[in-house]
Amino acid sequence: MTDPPVGPPNEHDADAWQILSPLIVHGRYLPWTSGSMRPAGLVQVCNEVVHGDRTHILECGSGVSTVLLARLLRERERGVLTSLEHDLHWATLIQDQLHREDLDQIARVVHAPLQGSPEWYRLGEMPDEIDLLIVDGPPADKPGRGAARAPALARLGGNLVDGAVVFLDDIDRPGEQQIIKSWEASTDWRFELNLPAGVAIGQRQPGPLNP
């Protein structure tokens, strides 16, 4: 992995907004903010759902992404999504939105307060076959919180099926860049950076063909 340049939202987001419009225009109002995954990143995730036929999705950090992905899964008539959320307000808000759109058979938000050291989500019953993991939480934008998402791969790696894909958002930040370096140094996961979209996309490195 090389160090990416730091960059704000760009023209790719305007294009991505158009691409996402089938999931946005006919839905209900969603509370987008700069805390939401950027449209360009969301397009990469949606493309992976379609191209990779991803059906067992786990998201760390709920928000408008949860609702958009649930709308995509409904359109595709396949797949389920679980979203871990530490904040009760966001958990309730997004679960309520899913319910009002009749999406709660497809996606659910699990309220998982942060605990332990290093602090991470309290895990209850988890899907044991995840084929797409999206790491967009816990919040890591405050000083001293840059490593907040680092535990994700160790904590969930055992639930990731062969061929699973992991997305890490916000790779324009030093904390996320360091996380990718530490994951690559300590595991057989390797990541490609999609800098315009602000995401890193990882898969397990295939084992040697002739051990």
Kindly tell me which of 127 and 139 has the beta carbon lying closer to ligand SAM: 139
Q: Which of 61, 151, 196, 198 binds ligand SAM (CB under 6 A)?
A: 61
- Our finding on whether 139 is near ligand SAM (CB under 6 A) is yes
CA distances from 51 to 48, 76, 120, 171, 183 (A): 5, 12, 31, 23, 25
Q: Which of 24, 37, 40, 130 binds ligand SAM (CB under 6 A)?
A: 37
Beta strands in the chain (DSSP E): 56-60, 80-85, 107-111, 114-115, 120-121, 130-135, 160-169, 189-194, 199-204
Quick note: the x/- pattern for ligand SAM over 158-177, rule CB under 6 A, is: --------------------
Q: Which of 39, 79, 137, 198 binds ligand SAM (CB under 6 A)?
A: 137
How far apart, in whole angstroms, are the C-alpha atoms of residue 189 and residue 203?
A: 5
How far apart, in whole angstroms, are the C-alpha atoms of residue 63 and residue 94?
A: 6
Kindly tell me which of 190 and 200 has the beta carbon lying closer to ligand SAM: 200
Q: Which of 62, 82, 95, 194 binds ligand SAM (CB under 6 A)?
A: 62
State the minimum distance, in angstroms, from the CB of residue 76 to ligand SAM.
Answer: 19
Among 22, 73, 25, 24, smallest CA distance to 45 is for: 73
- Our finding on whether 33 is near ligand SAM (CB under 6 A) is yes
User: What b/e readout covers 158-185, taking b as 16+ CB neighbours within 10 angstroms?
Assistant: ebbeeebbbbbbbbbbebbbebbeebbe
Q: Which of 63, 151, 198, 202 binds ligand SAM (CB under 6 A)?
A: 63
- Our finding on whether 85 is near ligand SAM (CB under 6 A) is yes
**Under the rule (CB under 6 A), what is the footprint of ligand SAM?**
31, 33, 35-37, 61-65, 85, 87, 90, 136-137, 139
